[in-house]
Amino acid sequence: MSIYVSTSIILVAMVAAFVLSSIFLKSPDISLAITAAVAVLFGVGFGWTDSFSRVMVEGLFVNLDTVLLFITASIFVSIYSETGAINSVTRKLVSRFQNKWILLAFMGAFMLIPGALTGAGSISIFVLGAMVATVVGAMGLSKKKTAAFVFMFAILSAAAPPVNLWAMMIASGSDIPYVGFDLPLMFPIVIVSIFTIIFLGWGSKRKSKEEVLASLPEADEHMSWWRILTPLVVLIALFLASNYMAHVIPVLGLPLMFVLSAIAAVICNPKKLSIKEYGKIINNTFEQIFPLIATVLSVGMLQNAMSASGVKGLIGITFITLPVIWIYITVLFVAPFLQGALNYGSAVVFGAPLIFLFNSMGFDPKIVAVALSLIFPIGDCLPPSRITGRLAVEAVGYEGKYTSFLLAVLVPCLVLGLIALAMMIWPNSFTFLI
C-alpha cells in the first residue's frame, strides 16, 4: 500500500472520528483529542513506530507557551476588572460625553482590550459584555443590534494584537517568528471597527444621561485616575521595554509581564481584598477559560498527530496543487465553517498549508497569516461550537431567533472577510505595515 493511500485512510478515519464524537459528545476539545488519538492509532496500524503516549504527551506541550500567556493575561484582566476601574471609567465617560458616536467608539475600544491581551473574544464578553450591552442599548440600539455589536468587537478583540492565537498557531506550524504582526492586524481591525459602529448605530437615538447612569454599577469613590492607569502603564512600559531595550534588560516574556501588571493592579485596588478573595477571583477565571485552554491543548495534540502521521503533509500537498483562484473563491466559506467545527484547530488544518503555498508563490507569508487570522474568527458564530456568538446573545439577553442574529452580523462580517481577502490576494501591497 502506498504512503498516499495509507495517509488518506488515516485522514478519512480522523474526519469520521471528529464528526461522530462531535455529534455524541458535543465537546470540540474532546473531539479534537479523540481525532488526534485516532490518527496515532491508525498510524501505528500502518507500521508507524512512534509510541502513542509520546506523540500525545508531546502534543500537549506544543502550545504550552500560548496557554501560559492566555492564563496570565486572563488573570490580569479579571483582577483589573475587579478593582472597579472599568466601571469607574465608564461612568466618567457617560457623564462627560453626550455624543452617541463617541460613547459607542469608547465601548468598542473597551471591548477590544481584554481579547487583545488574552487572544479570546469570550474573555471580552465575560469581563465587559453586560456593561457594554447596557451602554450600547442606552444609545438606542435594539437587542439584536446590541448583540451584533458585542459579537463583532469580541471577534475583533480576539484578532487584535498583541495576542492573536490563530496567527500564533499558523506561525508555529509554518516556522514563522511571531514578530511584526501588530500593524498589519490593527489596520483592518480599525477600519472594520469604524464601519461596525456606523452600520449598527445609524438611526438610533440615545437615552438621557441620567437613565444611562442609573443602569450602570456604582463606582468606588476611592478609584482615582492613578489607580486606573497604573496597571495599564506598567503593562505598556514592559511591552515597550522588551521591544526597544532587548539588549539592556533580561528577557521577560509576555506571561511574566501580565503577572507583574496583575500585581500592580492588586496594589492599586482601593478594595482591600484578602488573599482568599483573590484566590476566588483566580479560581473563577480558570472556570471561565478552562474550555478554551482545553481547546488549545487538544489542538496541540492534533497538530502533533497530524505531523507525525503524515496527514498534515497530505493536506499541504493537496492545497498546494489546487488552483489559487479556487482558494480565493472558497476561503470566505471554508475557513469560517472550519472555525465553527475545529475552533483554533482550523489554523493548523487550513492555515499552515496555505502559508507554504503562498510563500512558494513569492507572497509575504506574514500578511497571508494575518489575512487568515482575520477570516477564522468570523466562524465563532457558526455551529457546532458558536462559542462567541452564543455568549454575545446571552450577555445581551436577546431572545429572538439565532438566525436573525446571524443576519445582523452578516454585513460587518462580510466587510471584515473582504478586507482580509484583499490582503490575501495582494499581500505584497501591505508589506509596508510590517
Interval 204-236: pLDDT, tens: 888 888 888 888 878 777 888 898 889 989 988
**pLDDT 10s digits, 284-329:** 988 888 887 887 788 788 878 887 887 877 776 777 777 889 889 8
The identity of residue 53, as a single letter, is: S
Q: Is the pLDDT of residue 62 over 80?
A: no
Helix pair 182-201, 143-159: axis angle to 10 deg: 170
Is residue 183 predicted with pLDDT exceeding 80? yes
Arithmetic mean of pLDDT over the chain? 86
Greater confidence (167 vs 46) lies with 167
Tell me the DSSP string of 354-382.
Answer: HHHHHHHTT--HHHHHHHHHHHGGGGGGS
For residue 17, give the C-alpha cell: 472520528
pLDDT of residue 143: 94
- Under the banding of pLDDT at 50, 70 and 90, the label for residue 44 is low
Q: What is the pLDDT of residue 52?
A: 77
Considering only CA atoms, which of 318, 434, 424, 432 is closest in space to residue 363? 424
- Compute the distance between CA of residue 305 and CA of residue 421 in angstroms, rounded to an integer: 30
What is residue 220's DSSP assignment? P
**Residue 385 pLDDT > 80:** no
Higher pLDDT, 100 or 312: 100
Convert 385-422 to b/e letters by CB count within 10 Å (16 or more is b). bbbbbbbbbebbebeeeeeebbebbeebbebbbebbbe
Predicted local distance difference test score (pLDDT) of residue 129 = 87
Whether pTM exceeds 0.75? yes
Apex 335 CA angle, 334 and 340, nearest 5: 100
**What number of other Cβ atoms are within 10 A of residue 346's Cβ?**
25
Which pLDDT tens digit goes with each residue over 150-173? 999 999 999 999 889 899 889 887
Distance between alpha carbon 56 and the CA centroid of its chain, in Å?
A: 25
Provide long-range contacts, Cβ within 8 A and 24+ apart, for 47-52.
Answer: 48/308, 48/309, 50/308
- For residues 71 and 395, give the distance between their C-alpha atoms in angstroms, rounded to a whole number: 22
Q: Are 304 and 36 in contact (CB under 8 A)?
A: yes
C-alpha 240: how far from chain center = 23
Average pLDDT over residues 374-398: 86
| 384 — pLDDT class (breaks 50, 70, 90) | low
